Amino acid sequence: MNMLDPATCLLSRRLRLATTALHHQAEVVLDLPAAISDQASYADILNRFHGVYMPLEQALRRQSGWRDLNLDLQERGHAQRLANDLAALNTGICDRGPPDFRWLTSFPHALGALYVQEGSTLGGQIILRHLQARATGVSANAMSFFGGYGSDTRARWQALVAALDAFGEAHPEAQDAVQVGAEQTFLAVIAAFSARHPRSGSMATPSVVVCRA
């Protein structure tokens, strides 16, 4: 029996199983919370997340269907919190060139992307505790992104999982596209952070970085 058969597998479970390797790769590349040693390293991480989430959220808003699943994108936005944290650090937003989200052409793609974005809020709670416990020099006013939804974080995640599973049950033919959306979003995050770790012996492609206050 195919463990990822839409007829027998909840969509949320299918996504978790199908993206396990990408999830692990993302954790290795991000190297959080260990990569946060001071304010400068913290600001770099926030900037890289902002470089992915800002264009991603714009792409998500171009799709319709959220209201049918009782998902409010405005409430689930993270790019503005990232911008607020960077402002609290007196650090400009650096434009490294946005990821290519032209593949995100349907609501199922968008739902898979949201699965990845919202999943990061769970790990964010661990990173927040690290920031609060370690002497990193990061102001408490610059921790809203990793704070997620505070005490509502797990409840918000469970609501998304329920919406995913309801959508998957109602639209089994769309599950492949949801998985593509999740996989492509993981790849966008991995690409954004891989630039910090060029492969040994390889030449990294230079990129133009523009920072604005």
Q: What digits encode the pLDDT tens for the residues 4-15?
A: 565 568 999 999
User: HEC string of the chain?
Assistant: CCCCCCCCCCHHHHHHHHCHHHHHHHHHHHCCCCCCCCHHHHHHHHHHHHHHHHHHHHHHHCCCCCHHHCCCCCCCCCHHHHHHHHHHCCCCEEECCCCCCCCCCCHHHHHHHHHHHHHHHHHHHHHHHHHHHCCCCCCHHHCHHHHCCHHHHHHHHHHHHHHHHHHHHHCHHHHHHHHHHHHHHHHHHHHHHHCCCCCCCCCCCCCCCEEEC
Position 201 scores a pLDDT of 35
What's the rounded mean pLDDT across residues 199-204? 36
Q: What digits encode the pLDDT tens for the residues 156-194?
A: 999 999 999 999 999 999 999 999 999 999 999 999 999
Give CA–CA dist 157/120, Å, rounded.
10
CA distances from 202 to 34, 157, 195, 198 (A): 25, 39, 12, 7
**pLDDT value at 3 more than 60:** no
What's the rounded mean pLDDT across residues 44-56? 96
Q: What digits encode the pLDDT tens for the residues 57-68?
A: 999 999 999 999
Of 199, 201, 193, the closest CA to residue 29 belongs to 193
List the structure tokens of 77. Answer: 């936005």
Rounded percentage of the chain residues whose pLDDT exceeds 90: 76
CATH topology of domain 17-196+207-212: Heme Oxygenase; Chain A (1.20.910)
Give CA–CA dist 143/42, Å, rounded.
10
Q: What digits encode the pLDDT tens for the residues 137-148?
A: 888 899 999 999
Amino acid at 1: M
- List of residues 6+ apart from 21 with CB closer than 8 A: none
Are 96 and 209 within 8 A, CB to CB?
Answer: yes
Position 195 scores a pLDDT of 77
Position 97 scores a pLDDT of 77
Position 141 scores a pLDDT of 93
Position 12 scores a pLDDT of 97
Confidence band, pLDDT 50/70/90 cuts, at residue 198: low
